[in-house]
Amino acid sequence: MDKLDLQILSYLLNNCRMPDRQIGKKIGISGVAVKSRIQKMIDKKIIEQFALKIEPPVLGYSVLYFVVVGKELDDILNKIRLVGEPFFVVPCVGGVTVCSIVVKEDPAKKMELAKNLLNDVRVLAIFEAKNPEVRSDLTKTDIGILDILLKDPRLQIEEIARKSRFSTKTVTRSLDKLQNDEAIQFTAIYDPTKMGEFIPFAILVGVTDDVKSTLHRLEKEFSSSFLQKPFVHVNQIVLFLYSDNIFKIDDLTRKVHDVKGVQSVDLFIPKKINFPQKWVKDTIEQVKKSKRLHLMAEIHS
């Protein structure tokens, strides 16, 4: 990979539906060149797949996050599946695994159950993720289109219309809504081990100050190193960053810790990114069978 590939990947991580021509304008090359570079990253398995990331609360679920050390990944997954379906699973350098699950019932009780199941595993952190900013009002039309996009998030409007039997006007209107929805992200899954000189990493930031103010300070200071948009929930921020030098990562982590409002900093270097979709596919199938027009009515009924 070179710097242009990295810039393209960054745009795709934030919105994989962004047209090649638009990406090209932002980085100073043609849309044809962007398309060629994307295909090369796919061929080299740098980009593993394009994906649709839906925040579980939109579909009526709570989210529990775990940071554990030791044990085989399969063993960890077998245990947490007894509590809920995996949302994402990221094994990291140092034997650390960061994972999250979606749960339908009382998250506090589910958290206790998870702690008991993981009693032979060193648990560095376990918490419920909450983002009060996430709001959504999906209709049955939106759900039908999301169902199609789960298989291919970059599908063209005409093809979505053909598969859904909605008009192109309806599809366009729904896509505009979905792409402006903070709870829905059209993204990509990449292989961290195939990025050449570039090292992707994440910093989990614990916040004491107002989260929005702290995020603004972090963006102002470190946005040039962002690989994708930060993830925010209640009093924590996850920064997705990259470096071209392993030694710069420690320095950057220290600088994050020095930002006003930051209480704690934890560094994670991913080896693999897994993004299971079973929970969302099952939920969408359930919602599609409902006669209600709005998803939130279905969830709260």
| Domains and their CATH numbers in the chain | 3-44 (1.10.10.10), 53-191+272-301 (3.30.70.2860), 197-268 (3.30.70.1150)
Alpha carbons 275 and 254: distance in angstroms, whole number: 29
Phi and psi at 63, nearest 5°, equal -125, 130
Residue 159 CA to residue 161 CA, distance in Å, equals 5
List CB contacts of 105: < 8 A, sequence separation 6 or more. none
| Contact predicate 53/15, CB 8 Å | no
For 41, counting Cβ atoms within 10 Å of its Cβ (0-12 exposed, 13-18 middle, 19+ buried), the class is buried
Q: What is the dihedral of CA 209, 215, 216, 218, to 10 degrees?
A: 100
- What is the value of pTM for the model shown? 0.89
Q: What number of other Cβ atoms are within 10 A of residue 221's Cβ? A: 14
Residues sharing a CB contact under 8 Å with residue 95, sequence separation 6 or more, in sequence order? 69, 70
Residuewise pLDDT in 10s, the chain (301 residues): 999 999 999 999 999 999 999 999 999 999 999 999 999 999 999 999 999 999 888 888 889 988 998 777 888 888 889 999 999 899 999 999 999 999 988 888 998 998 888 888 888 888 887 765 666 688 889 999 999 999 999 999 999 999 999 999 999 999 999 999 888 999 999 999 999 999 999 999 999 988 899 999 999 999 999 999 998 877 889 999 999 999 999 999 999 999 999 999 999 999 999 989 999 999 888 887 766 555 553 444 4
For residue 271, give Cα distances in angstroms to 30, 89, 199.
Answer: 32, 11, 10
pLDDT of residue 70: 77
